[in-house]
Amino acid sequence: MKAPAPAFMFATGIENSAPTIQEGRVRVDEMAKCGHYEHWRTDFDLVEEMDIRFLRYGLPLHRTFLGPDHYDWPFADEAFADLRKRDMVPIVDLCHFGVPGWIGNFQNEDFPTLFAAYARAFAEHFPWIQLYTPVNEMYICATFSARYGWWNEQLKSDRAFVTALKYIVKANVLAMQAILDVRADAIFIQSESSEYFHAENPEAIKPAEIMNAERFLSLDLNYGRRVDSEMYEYLMDNGMTREEYHFFLDNNMKHHCIMGNDYYITNEHRVSADGSTRPSGEVFGYDEITWQYYDRYRLPVMHTETNLQQGPNGDEAINWLWKEWANVLRVRNDGIPVMGFTWYSLTDQVDWDTALREENNRVNPLGLYDLDRKIRPVGEAYKQLIKSWREVLPVQSVCLRVPVVVPSEHDEEWAKEKREQARRERGAEPTAPANVDKEGRQS
């Protein structure tokens, strides 16, 4: 039996994006493009080779969720049994940018309840799994699907964006509730893009302010936080009802969550006076932007995604890894409870240079390993980073621990007692809005 889960969660992930493009005719299945279906055992071997105990991993939703109360578990049974045998802790990613064809897309009002039923069925089928990301990058999913017109419904309007957002976040909230009904000590690690919009001139200040308010909408709703007044009007003007809004205020499960935030070199933007945007590159960086999100939500943080392409010099990704890790240490040392760090993903990806909008089958050298499963220089660097820092971080702060029960401990008596205690506590949970205390003051 392996040792208990480390206090700090060094992680990687298996890319499982699966949006549709070309008006729903083409499914972009990254697990297929990256060869995971054929090489999943090897991929798990590589995770162990890195000495990583935490893996962001999800099933192909479109292959598993075949209809109401109709699930196809064989691949899941084999893969998750193997993870459990290895005593690896999965952070299960249930929905990553796409839904099954029979659901349609994120404009479907039935999606939240259908997805919650799937989440419950998954938790019942795999009761030993504790960590979840129900819906990955909710803000990005709604933006790319319903504002930019790139994926899924391929719409380009504020009303379509608000519709997608409210159904995506409601699906996430209902899924958390369903999973907690099955496993009361479940922990949810949101993986959400952390964005910032820079005004490039005085005339751009107003559109930049609006975009910097909109970036918080998915997490505001998810955590039951009252949105800013201008965003409230925006939501109401674009199809959200008061009843729908109050659903989010009345179903706050913030205290079961870790705020996972993703940061790439593409996460900061320059805004022009006409509201158009273009990449700015890294200006503030992970440190400053993470403080902005932490100040708003006051939750433990995990850096849940980052990467950079291996460039012509061969050290570009290594330097980015070093920079991101330095940022993580900075925010941790400055007082933010940082629980983990992730290089995403394990292997190279395909067609992310066009945000999965085009079927070019172009390999993007972003992984710890290439698609021949040969380690890249950044893989060697991350392996050494983990070895160097794994034992140091708990010494710095023994309180920064996530109460993870590793698979091999699931049936231990103390773990059963812990789950029973969590079930009792769940029966008395508060549901007040996240930014209002019992006397009505904002917190």
Provide the 3-class DSSP secondary structure of residue 70.
strand
**What size, in residues, is the chain?**
443
Dihedral of alpha carbons 390, 391, 395, 400, sign: positive
Q: At what angle do helices 242-250 and 229-237 cross, to 10 degrees?
A: 130
pLDDT tens, residue order, the chain (443 aa): 456 677 899 999 999 999 999 999 999 999 999 999 999 999 999 999 999 999 999 999 999 999 999 999 999 999 999 999 999 999 999 999 999 999 999 999 999 999 999 999 999 999 999 999 999 999 999 999 999 999 999 999 999 999 999 999 999 999 999 999 999 999 999 999 999 999 999 999 999 999 999 999 999 999 999 999 999 999 999 999 999 999 999 999 999 999 999 999 999 999 999 999 999 999 999 999 999 999 999 999 999 999 999 999 999 999 999 999 999 999 999 999 999 999 999 999 999 999 999 999 999 999 999 999 999 999 999 999 999 999 888 766 666 778 899 999 999 998 888 888 888 888 766 554 445 443 343 44
Ranges of each domain in the chain: 9-426
Distance CA 120, CA 350 (A): 31
Question: Is residue 129 within 8 Å of residue 404, measured between CB atoms?
Answer: no
What is the CA angle 135-172-235, rounded to 5?
Answer: 105
Cα 300 to Cα 293: distance, rounded to the nearest angstrom: 11
Predicted pLDDT at 428: 67
C-alpha torsion 41→43→47→50, nearest 10: 120
Residue with token string 């290439």: 370
CATH number of 9-426: 3.20.20.80
pTM confidence score: 0.94
Torsional class of 437: left (φ above 0), alpha (ψ -120 to 50), beta (otherwise): beta
Full DSSP string of 251-313? ---GGGEEEEEE--TTSEEEE-TTS-EEE--SSSHHHHHHHHHHHHH---EEEEE------TT
Query: What is the per-residue pLDDT for 443?
Result: 40
Asked if 16 and 58 touch (Cβ cutoff 8 Å), the reply is yes
pLDDT value of position 422: 87
Residue 285 φ/ψ region, left for φ over 0, alpha for ψ in the -120 to 50 degree band, beta for the rest: left
Q: Kindly give the pairing relationship between strand 268-271 and strand 196-199.
A: parallel
How far apart, in whole angstroms, are the C-alpha atoms of residue 150 and residue 18? Answer: 13
Report residue 380 CA to chain centroid gap: 25
Per-residue CA distances from 160 to 26, 33, 146, 156, 320 (Å): 21, 29, 5, 7, 36
Instruction: Round to whole Å and give the CA distance between 347 and 69.
Output: 33
